[in-house]
Amino acid sequence: MFLRHTPTEVVERSALTINPAKTCQPIGAMYAALGIHNCLPHSHGSQGCCSYHRSTLTRHYKEPVMAATSSFTEGSSVFGGQANLLTAIENIFTIYEPDIIAIHSTCLSETIGDDLGQITNKAAEEGKVPAGKHLVYAHTPSYTGSHVTGFSNMCHGIVDHFAECTARRGRHVTIFPGWVEPSDMREIKRLAAEMGIATVLTPDTSDVLDAPMTGKHRMYPKGGTTIPELKRMGDSVYALALGEWASTAAATRLNAKCGVPFQVMDLPIGLRATDRFIDMLRRAGDVAVPASVTDDRGRLLDLMTDMYQYLHGKTVALWGDPDHLLPLAEFLLDLNMVPKYMVSGTPGKKFMQRLDEMGADIKAQNGPCADMFLMHQWIKNEPVDLLMGNTYGKYISRDEDIPLVRCGFPILDRVGHQYFPLVGYRGAMRLVEKMLDAILDRKDRDAPEESFELVM
């Protein structure tokens, strides 16, 4: 009983978070930067922060994550980190030869008040940025927001620096995929290609954090959005921002800078959210939906219909990022399941508003005090049939003997999320498969001998 001290009585809290349902801003900024080709993320703060960000991403993706740090000492903590960052920029371009350094701040550099815009301008003026090389940056104070905010801020910084508008509007669509797995980014690109739509996906971590084993270490894997692609965003015919929390800032900046019209949408998780995504792609690209995509949808419907009796009425507790939770809740409702509890450490008023609009009776909370402790208290008072969320739920799963389906970030103790998508119709089929496996395994485990079934 790891969490045996969790009391059942829920007490109102305003200034204490216990086991947060989020992680820190720079992790998101680092993840976004890894989705840019030949880009080295740089953490402007202490070595400890950078180690934490890298190790969390490495543990989730099971891939080496390269990043540099300003390595603050006591001196830089008092006098500011400008000198460290200027030296780092020079060293990184000389030794590691990236095309881009993507700099994010940390709690410490934010508290000091380091201005990354001013420091990067100074680096350029002093000739520390070689011709054809780039510095992008994002302020990511981790005492506000979450890893999703950091991801969003870095995407905004990337658009701000690179998007260029020429007089020639192209036919391609820019897609901001939001914080999803490399496998999901690959699936989003596959769906768009299947529909005959040229896209620029920003960022794109496929072939970076799911790169094949070749026997040779590549400092910069072959994937990631390239600089020409980043520039071409400005000439897109349309932009789709998938995930309100992760992608709105980038799409809004692209619109302000280059006039590219955009639509903010849910991540295409589940049946209806994927329907909306496909329909929007169809309209943005002025194409017809091919039979192969319609067939994928039909297969998902077939699976949902075949197995609904095992899912019907099952209660679920979920935690994670709002961009994942909202379409996931909608999908559970489509499966006649009951999303009962939901917490997200990522703040934002729209979360509760969107849940209200769904019309479901979900006990939910988001923001700093919406943590795993609160989720455990709710479950202790009234249990659920299934847990869905990141690895941090495994303690509740063990203590309360409730099956856990791992999804979201981070997943530190299983693999698969890097390679098999959860977005699109195929991703929704995998979600159903994962939920069924968990529920049917439990049913088998608990069945008395006389009702232990071979066929289900």
Site residues for ligand SF4 per CB under 6 A: 24, 26, 45, 49, 52, 106-107, 142
Nearest approach, Cβ of residue 147 and ligand SF4 (Å): 9
Cα–chain center distance at 226? 20
Tokens coding 211: 């790169």
Nearest approach, Cβ of residue 417 and ligand SF4 (Å): 22
The residue among 46 and 183 lying less far from ligand SF4, judged by its C-beta, is 46
**Measured between alpha carbons, how far is 352 from 161 in angstroms, rounded to an integer?**
33
Nearest approach, Cβ of residue 110 and ligand SF4 (Å): 8
Number of Cβ within a 10 Å radius of residue 387: 23
The residue among 26 and 268 lying less far from ligand SF4, judged by its C-beta, is 26
Taking the CA atoms of the chain, what radius of gyration do you get in angstroms?
Answer: 23
What Cα–Cα distance (Å) separates residue 413 from each residue in 60, 234, 375?
8, 40, 21
Nearest approach, Cβ of residue 106 and ligand SF4 (Å): 4
The residue among 140 and 366 lying less far from ligand SF4, judged by its C-beta, is 140
The residue among 53 and 297 lying less far from ligand SF4, judged by its C-beta, is 53
The residue among 52 and 308 lying less far from ligand SF4, judged by its C-beta, is 52
**Measured between alpha carbons, how far is 340 from 348 in angstroms, rounded to an integer?**
20
The residue among 6 and 106 lying less far from ligand SF4, judged by its C-beta, is 106
The residue among 53 and 253 lying less far from ligand SF4, judged by its C-beta, is 53
What Cα–Cα distance (Å) separates residue 86 from each residue in 103, 129, 245, 258?
12, 10, 32, 31
| Torsions phi, psi for 102 (to 5 deg) | -105, 110
**Measured between alpha carbons, how far is 30 from 451 in angstroms, rounded to an integer?**
51
Nearest approach, Cβ of residue 65 and ligand SF4 (Å): 15
The residue among 47 and 294 lying less far from ligand SF4, judged by its C-beta, is 47
**Measured between alpha carbons, how far is 427 from 190 in angstroms, rounded to an integer?**
12
Q: Which distant-in-sequence residues (6+ apart) come within 8 Å of 105 by Cβ?
A: 26, 44, 45, 114, 116, 137, 138, 139, 140, 141
Q: What angle do CA 278, 316, 325 make, to 5 degrees?
A: 40
Q: What residues pair up with 7 in beta bridges, in sequence order?
A: none
Nearest approach, Cβ of residue 340 and ligand SF4 (Å): 31
Number of Cβ within a 10 Å radius of residue 56: 20
The residue among 25 and 199 lying less far from ligand SF4, judged by its C-beta, is 25
The residue among 50 and 230 lying less far from ligand SF4, judged by its C-beta, is 50
Nearest approach, Cβ of residue 20 and ligand SF4 (Å): 10
From 98, 104, 89, select the one nearest 137 (Cα to Cα).
104
Nearest approach, Cβ of residue 137 and ligand SF4 (Å): 15
Nearest approach, Cβ of residue 168 and ligand SF4 (Å): 42
**Measured between alpha carbons, how far is 72 from 384 in angstroms, rounded to an integer?**
46
From 184, 218, 238, select the one nearest 422 (Cα to Cα).
184
Nearest approach, Cβ of residue 221 and ligand SF4 (Å): 25
